A and B are shown apart, each in its own frame.
Chain A
Amino acid sequence: GENVEQHPSTLSVQEGDSAVIKCTYSDSASNYFPWYKQELGKRPQLIIDIRSNVGEKKDQRIAVTLNKTAKHFSLHITETQPEDSAVYFCAASKDSGYALNFGKGTSLLVTP
């Protein structure tokens, strides 16, 4: 089955700096790559996603890039704020109807 690796497991940045989280996947048939944010004690919530026919997608301070050849994708957060502190999970799946396989998560801490 699909294996999603995520790095780093923890990341600490100063407010205003950028943060980058990287994921690799094993199944070349995967074509949907979402990112979820989970605040302490809360449910995971989708923050951005990308499909394999797109190389990059941006939404305000958040961007995701995809390299299908290398089978890796990354989350970029610019101008980080303390409220960005949370655990971020990448995930991958094949076509519609298949469940998401999640990475182990990255705990991001943004210090003022």
Chain B
Amino acid sequence: EAGVAQSPRYKIIEKRQSVAFWCNPISGHATLYWYQQILGQGPKLLIQFQNNGVVDDSQLPKDRFSAERLKGVDSTLKIQPAKLEDSAVYLCASSRSGVGELFFGEGSRLTVL
């Protein structure tokens, strides 16, 4: 089966600019996650979707980050305006209805200058 697809793989922007990342989960996976992985640290959950509804966004900096999963399939994560500390890899993952193994995409590496 096809894996989790993410784009772009790399993005370099100036602070205060905006950026958007896209994720297409494994077909049939109802649960989609966005994690932020800062260099040298473990993935930190930003938001979890079950179909097109938000399950957990308690750690999403809502003043600058937004995410949507309109049709319960692919998802977009947006940052506006970006800060230096947003430099990280943004990992999308999916699972079958939130049970068991998470399947990660290759990640989108963001550098904010």
Q: Which residues of B contact A101 (CB under 8 A)?
A: 45
What 0/1 pattern do residues 61 to 75 of B give for CB contact below 8 A with A? 000000000000000
Count of CB-CB pairs between chains A and B under 8 Å: 57
Binding stretch for chain B, among A12-20, A44-52, A64-72, A74-82:
A44-52
Instruction: Select the residue from B50, B56, B104 with max chain A CB neighbours within 10 A.
Output: B104
Residue ranges of B at the interface with A (Cβ–Cβ < 8 Å): 31, 33, 35, 40-45, 48, 50, 55-56, 58, 91, 97-102, 104-107
Q: Which residues of B contact A89 (CB under 8 A)?
A: 42-43
Contact A102 B100 (CB under 8 A): no
Q: Can you list 10 contacts pairing A with B, beta carbon distance less than 8 Å?
A: A4-B42, A34-B102, A43-B91, A43-B106, A46-B102, A99-B33, A100-B102, A101-B45, A102-B35, A105-B41
Of B35, B56, B101, which one neighbours A46 at CB under 8 angstroms? B101
Residue of B nearest to A34 (CB): B101
SS of B interface (majority)? strand
Of B40, B50, B104, which one neighbours A44 at CB under 8 angstroms? B104
Q: How far is the CA of A15 from the CA of B41 in the complex (A)?
A: 26
Q: Which residues of B contact A112 (CB under 8 A)?
A: none
Q: Is A104 an interface residue (CB 8 A)?
A: yes
Q: How far is the CA of A43 from the CA of B37 in the complex (A)?
A: 11
Contact B98 A98 (CB under 8 A): yes
Q: How far is the CA of A98 from the CA of B41 in the complex (A)?
A: 21
Instruction: Select the residue from A46, A89, A96, A99 with max chain B CB neighbours within 10 A.
Output: A99
Q: Which residues of A contact B58 (CB under 8 A)?
A: 1
Contact A97 B102 (CB under 8 A): no
Q: Top 10 A-B pairs ranked by shortest CB distance?
A: A102-B42, A97-B98, A96-B99, A43-B104, A99-B45, A99-B48, A46-B101, A104-B42, A102-B43, A105-B42
